[in-house]
Amino acid sequence: GLRIFGNLPYNISSPLLFHLMDAAAHVQDQHFMLQKEVVARMVAAPACADYGRMSVMLQWRYRMWNILDVGPDSFSPPPRVDSAVVRMLPRPEQALLGLDPARLKALTAAAFAQRRKLLRHALEPWLQAQGYGGAFDLQRRAEEVSVQDYVSLALELPAISRQESRQEPPAT
């Protein structure tokens, strides 16, 4: 598999990381230097302020570690932000449970669109529009739901059409 290493431009790191998910099956490992805040969002745990859509999507696809913090004084000229190096190991296909990434992407976009609201208000209308009638606990905020709970819910949803998966809210 490919081994990818890079110092990603901070202004495009999030879209690039989402784009690289499509090739993860062909990757042995990835190591990137990114803005420290981006790495914090990538590896954040539920109920943490940094936990969001990026955390869920990337943690579903990769095992990740913040392996090194790099201060501005390591560069010339020094940037105005701190940096960090993240290690990303793609999960084996069987660990992904056959989940269509478009389904998880649409679900997390809907859940985190109004992250401070209870899911009963933010996600329930979207779930109903998808034809979901299950018993998912909607008395929580999006940031309180584990990656595994999002994956389980996504697996219960009907398939998402290609057209719908292209029409998503912006990443948060």
Domain residue limits, the chain = 2-92, 101-166
Residue-wise pLDDT for 111-123, tens only, equals 999 988 999 999 9
From 105, 114, 120, 116, select the one nearest 168 (Cα to Cα).
105
**85 beta partners:** 33, 68
Q: Copy the structure tokens of residue 5.
A: 């290493």
Residue-wise pLDDT for 65-106, tens only, equals 999 999 999 999 999 999 999 999 999 999 999 999 999 999
Name the architecture of domain 2-92: 3-Layer(aba) Sandwich (3.40)
CB 90, CB 62: distance < 8 Å: yes
- Exposed / middle / buried, residue 63 (Cβ in 10 Å: 0-12, 13-18, 19+): middle
**Cα 64 to Cα 115: distance, rounded to the nearest angstrom:** 23
Q: Pick one of 1.10.8.100, 1.10.3720.10, 3.40.720.10, 3.40.50.2300 as the CATH number of 101-166.
A: 1.10.8.100
Q: Copy the structure tokens of residue 157.
A: 């949803």
| Cα torsion through 104, 107, 108, 114, rounded to 10 | 180
Task: Please state the pTM of the whole predicted model.
Answer: 0.88
What is the pLDDT, as a whole number, of residue 143? 97
- State which H helix or E strand residue 28 sits in: strand 27-35
